[in-house]
Amino acid sequence: MRICLFPGTFDPITMGHVDIIDRAMPLFDKLVVGIGRNAQKKPLFSEEDRLRWILECFKDNPKVSAVTYEGLTVNCCKTHGAQFILRGIRYVSDFEYEKAIADMNRSIEPDIETVFLTCSPRYTSVASTLVRDVYRNGGNVRQFLPYAVINDLYKS
C-alpha cells in the first residue's frame, strides 16, 4: 500500500492545498494530512479548527485522513506507515527550500521519498500566510478557501 503524508500547518487549509491533495489522490492508496506543530509559528486558527476543516473537506474520500503531530516529519511518516512525503511547489524559491528539507529527511530516513507537485496556475498566489493577512485586515478571502473554512469564518 502506498501511503503518503502531506505535512504542513494548514493555517488555514486553502484551495491550493485542496488542489494538491486532489491531484495526488491517483498516486497513492492513502493520504494522511499531517498538521505539524511548529514552535516558530503562531497559528491564527486553533489546531482543532484546522483538523476539523481538513476532515470536513475530505469527508467523502475514505483515502484521506488527518492527524496532528509534533517533532520530525519522518517520525510521523513512520507512525502512520507512510513511505512518501508530499509537498506542493508554487515558485522556484519554494523548490530550493523544499529540496533542502527533502534532502535532510532522506538523510535521516532513506526509505521515505519526497514527491513534489507544482500547484495549478490559478492557485499560485494562494498562500495561507497571505490569506491570514487579508482575513485579519477585514478582506474577503472566500475565493481562496474551501467551503468548510468559509462556513466557519463567515457565519452570519
Domains defined for the chain, CATH in brackets: 3-153 (3.40.50.620)
120 is catalytic: no
Q: Give the confidence band of 95 by pLDDT, cuts at 50, 70, 90.
A: very high
Question: Cα separation of 126 and 2, whole Å?
Answer: 28
User: Which ranges in 4-43 belong to alpha helices (H)?
Assistant: 15-24
| Mean pLDDT on 94-105 | 94
The three-state secondary structure class of 41 is: coil
The three-state secondary structure class of 55 is: helix
In the chain, what is the straight-line distance between the N-terminal and C-terminal CA atoms, in Å?
44
- Asked whether the beta carbons of 92 and 55 are under 8 A apart, the reply is no
What's the pLDDT score for residue 47?
95
How far, rounded to the nearest angstrom, does the alpha carbon of residue 140 sit from its chain's CA centroid?
22
Q: Give the confidence band of 123 by pLDDT, cuts at 50, 70, 90.
A: confident
Residue tagged active-site, from 78, 90, 99, 132: 90
**Rounded to two decimals, what is the model's pTM?**
0.94
Q: Give the confidence band of 87 by pLDDT, cuts at 50, 70, 90.
A: very high
How far, rounded to the nearest angstrom, does the alpha carbon of residue 43 sit from its chain's CA centroid?
14
80 is catalytic: no
What's the pLDDT score for residue 38?
80
23 is catalytic: no
**Is the model's pLDDT at 41 over the cut of 80?**
no
Residue tagged 495549478 (cell numbers):
120
All three cell numbers of 122, joined, read: 490559478
Q: Give the confidence band of 156 by pLDDT, cuts at 50, 70, 90.
A: low
106 is catalytic: no
pLDDT digits over 64-82, tens only?
999 999 999 999 999 999 9
Size of the chain in residues: 156
Provide the sign of the torsion angle of the four alpha carbons 5, 22, 99, 53, taken in this order: negative
Residue tagged active-site, from 2, 37, 41, 136: 41
CB proximity list for 128: less than 8 A, separation 6 or greater = 9, 10, 11, 12, 13, 14
